A and B are shown apart, each in its own frame.
Chain A
Amino acid sequence: APARAADLTKATLRLKWLPQTQFAGFYVAVAKGYYKDEGIDLTINPGGPNLLAENLVATGADTFGLSGGLDSVFAARDKGMPVVCIGISHQMTPFVFVARADGPVKTIQDFKGKTVTTWFTGANHVLNAILAKNGIDPALVTIQPQQVSVTPFIDGQVDVITATRYNEYYTIKTRMGEEKLRTFVAEDSGITFPRDTLIVSETTAKEKPELVKAFLRASIKGWKDAFNDPKGAVDTVMAIAPTLDRAHQEFQLAEAKKLMVAGKVPEKGLFWIDMDSVKITQDLFLNAKVISKPVDLGATFNTSFLEAIPLADRKP
């Protein structure tokens, strides 16, 4: 039975970025009242270039966070921030590295001596790992911070560009044509870099486990709806951010779905935390000295909230 307004618990979800269909499930859950049904009055707060969800969740400014990814969760724990990961959204690396099909870069080995741009906010670790796996000294590659705009790549000033599958790749594809592009995927080098992590503070995890469970239930419901009715989900998000491009958002949702249902998700359900890939990622960070020491994985990752939800409900 729907809870009455007076009984609702106020909570906020801090996103890692601006409103877009990458986060459609949460918006759908709000629009359909799934959080209310669970007794939560949820407000979705967008992120942005100068905000860090971990920080806001750790200090209690926000209840939940859909944060950068394993990289930011590890970094936060490494700095002593009491955040707990309660779910992972993107089960595989959301980035691809893009070169021109007719350009000089045909293989990863060709990165040597070329200009590669990437974001120094996580994607750089993937790039470094790929280079390492392929035995390339990163010093031989000209790695630069990536522009806001993909135009430098389109104009040929950059040889390889980093693109999220759901954002930049769409932009490049629509401006150049997909056939003109060659992509390099991290998984091909045996690297998986799960991103878009759901986090809460240790306090919330300890004191309000029911709230966390309720939040996950409603969120999964929202996402399943979004997958089933992508058009409606895009409408919901476009109502929040009407200046967005519909075609792009439809593409984005489809890509997000691919990322979210990858890996163990078909068996374990949405937002599943695959501890194996978590460990692999931690090693990657330790090697790259992104974190100074191994973090307490048991305290950082908590699957109990997910597991409290029947598996059938969690499966996409």
Chain B
Amino acid sequence: MSTSSLAQPAQPPSGASLRLLLPLLRALRGLAILVAVFAAWEALVVAFAIRPYYLPRPTVIFAALWQTPAPYVQGFLRTLSETLLGFVAGGVFGIGIGLLFFRARALRELVFPLFIVSQTIPVIAFGALVVLWFGNTLLAKAAIAFYLTFFPVTVNTLLGLESVDPRQEALLRSFGASPLQLLTRLQFPTALPQIFVALRLASSLALVGAIVGEWFGDTVGLGVLLLQGMYTENVVSIWATLLVSALLGTGFYALVAAAERAFVFWGAEQ
């Protein structure tokens, strides 16, 4: 219950331009911090003469990225598509199953423990089987990403749907609402903030799934680069891939968070 959130009638025009400027300023500040961090890193490595094997200088890493950008760009795009595919499939399936479980309690009680058990299985133990089933395709990685994402989404969808205020439900029922009307007008919107919490988590998990999936005989992708870097002891390449992964990770997370802000604009009270 927000106490003092104010209803500002129209913002003054200066506020509008400020609102456009503010994210720009924030981005600039973030960039400045990033540059400062890299500078400090560089200085640290040089000052303490840290062996590049343990920590290469950022300039060396950026040089590697600059000289052979192709594998990193391709890896970024490939891993992104796998992540996206798995994420979307996992999200849709997770929400669907959440709705199903919400409606069919017996089914939920029957299947839910299995779902929980399934989540305790390390994917990597499964990887070989997934390649066996799906082949050396994008689908195999998306399947692993999917496997990691759907469960939290299901759980939170269910939690969200069940967190509906029974008084609110009673109110709508008193207006004569049908079950479908209850779902679309009350239950689903109520669950949305919770669903987005899971989706944010799932965005990271999907990336993990894609990267791990690529450890099973893939040709392109950030996971491939990591593995290759590890077995050739190419620490610079590992770091370059880590930075690209960070970019992908934050970017994808920011995307989901932006979607959350757009869809859950009312500021969920938890």
A–B touch (CB < 8 A): the answer is yes
- In the assembled complex, B233 has its CB within 8 A of some CB on chain A: yes
Tell me if A19 and B132 are in contact (CB < 8 A).
no
CB distance from B154 to the nearest CB of A (A): 28
The reply on B90 being an interface residue by CB < 8 A is no
Q: Per-residue CB proximity of A43-66 to B under 8 Å, as 1/0? A: 111111111100110010110000
In the complex, per-residue mask of B209-252: 1 if CB is within 8 Å of any chain A CB, else 0: 00000011111000011011111111001000000000000000
Q: Does A144 contact B (CB under 8 A)?
A: no
**Beta-carbon contacts of B125-169 to A below 8 Å, as 1s and 0s?**
001100110011000000000000000000000000000000000
Given the interface contacts A55-B132, A56-B131, A151-B53, does A48 sit within 8 Å of B215 by beta carbon? yes
Asked if B3 lies at the interface with its beta carbon under 8 angstroms from chain A, I say: no
- In A221-254, which residues have CB < 8 Å from any B CB? 240-245, 248
Q: For A18, give the chain B residue with the smallest CB separation.
A: B228
Check B228–A244 contact: CB distance below 8 A. yes
Q: A50-B128, A61-B135, A151-B53 are in contact. Are A243 and B219 (CB under 8 A)?
A: no
* B232 with A51: CB separation less than 8 A: no
Can you name the residue of chain A whose Cβ is closest to the Cβ of B53?
A151
Among B64, B131, B224, B234, point to the contact of A61 (Cβ < 8 A): B131
A125 near B: Cβ within 8 Å? no
A12 to B218, CA, bound (A): 13
| B32 in the interface (beta carbon within 8 A) | no
Q: Does B68 contact A (CB under 8 A)?
A: yes
* Chain A residues bordering chain B, tally (CB within 8 A): 33
B258 within 8 A of A: no
Chain B residue contacts of A243, Cβ below 8 A: 64, 68, 71, 225, 228-229, 232, 234, 237
Residues from chain A with a CB closer than 8 A to the CB of B224 are 18, 46
Contact A61 B215 (CB under 8 A): no
Whole-angstrom CA separation of A243 from B67 in the bound complex: 10
Shortest B24–chain A CB gap in Å is 35
A148 at the interface (CB under 8 A from B): yes
**Is A171 engaged at the interface, CB distance under 8 Å to the other chain?**
yes
Instruction: Report the bound CA distance from A244 to B224 in whole Å.
Output: 12
A51 & B131 in contact (Cβ 8 Å cutoff):
yes
Answer whether residue B70 sits at the interface, using C-beta atoms and an 8 A cutoff. Answer: yes
Given contacts A45-B136, A45-B219, A243-B234, contact A50 B124 (CB under 8 A): yes
- Of chain A, the residue at the smallest CB distance from B135 is A61
Q: Is the CB of B215 within 8 A of A49?
A: yes
B227 touches A48 (CB 8 A): yes
Q: Do A244 and B232 touch across chains, with their CB atoms under 8 A apart?
A: yes
C-beta contact mask, A82-97 vs B, less than 8 Å → 1, else 0? Answer: 0000000000000000
Distance in angstroms between the alpha carbons of A262 and B128 in the assembled complex: 33
The answer for the CA separation of A240 and B218 in the assembled complex, in Å, is: 12
State whether A56 and B132 are in contact (beta carbons under 8 Å apart), knowing that A48-B215, A50-B124 are contacts in the complex: yes
A131 contacts partner chain B, Cβ-Cβ < 8 Å: no
Q: Does the CB pair A12–B136 fall under 8 Å?
A: yes
Residues of chain B at interface, number, CB under 8 A: 28
Known: A55-B128, A59-B132, A61-B135. A50 touches B219 (CB 8 A): no
Q: With A and B bound together, what is the CA distance between A248 and B225 in angstroms?
A: 17
A42 to chain B, nearest CB (A): 13
Q: Are A48 and B229 in touch, CB under 8 angstroms? A: no
B230 nearest in chain A by CB position: A148
Give the CA-CA distance A55 to B128 in the complex, in Å: 9
- Chain A residue nearest to B235 in the complex (CB): A149
Tell me if B131 and A18 are in contact (CB < 8 A). no
Residue of A nearest to B70 (CB): A242
User: Complex Cα distance A241/B68, Å?
Assistant: 10
Instruction: State the CA gap A18–B227 with chains docked (Å).
Output: 9
Please state if B231 and A148 are interface contacts (CB–CB under 8 Å). Answer: yes
Q: In the complex the two chains form, what is the Cα distance from A243 to B228 in whole Å?
A: 8
Q: How far is the CA of A19 from the CA of B218 in the complex (A)?
A: 10
Distance (Å) between the CB of B231 and the closest chain A CB? 6
Q: Is the beta-carbon distance between A245 and B232 smaller than 8 angstroms?
A: yes
Tell me if A46 and B218 are in contact (CB < 8 A): yes
A11 at the interface (CB under 8 A from B): no
Asked if A77 CB lies within 8 Å of chain B CBs, one says no
B62-104 to A contact mask, C-beta < 8 Å, 1/0: 0010001011000000000000000000000000000000000
Mark A123-161 against chain B: 1 for CB-CB distance below 8 A, else 0. 000000000000000000000000011110000000000
The residues of B that contact A50 with a CB separation of less than 8 Å are: 124, 127-128, 215-216
List 25 interface pairs A-B (beta carbons < 8 Å), by A numbering.
A15-B217, A17-B231, A18-B227, A19-B219, A43-B136, A45-B217, A46-B217, A48-B227, A50-B127, A51-B128, A51-B216, A59-B132, A61-B135, A148-B233, A149-B233, A151-B233, A240-B219, A241-B71, A242-B71, A243-B68, A243-B225, A243-B237, A244-B228, A244-B232, A245-B234
Q: What is the interface of chain A, defined by CB distance below 8 A to chain B?
A: 12, 14-15, 17-19, 43-52, 55-56, 59, 61-62, 148-151, 171, 240-245, 248
Q: Given contacts A17-B231, A148-B231, A149-B233, could you give 20 more A-B pairs where the C-beta distance is less than 8 Å?
A: A14-B217, A43-B136, A44-B219, A45-B136, A46-B217, A46-B224, A48-B216, A50-B124, A50-B216, A51-B217, A55-B132, A148-B230, A241-B71, A242-B70, A243-B64, A243-B228, A243-B237, A244-B232, A245-B234, A248-B232
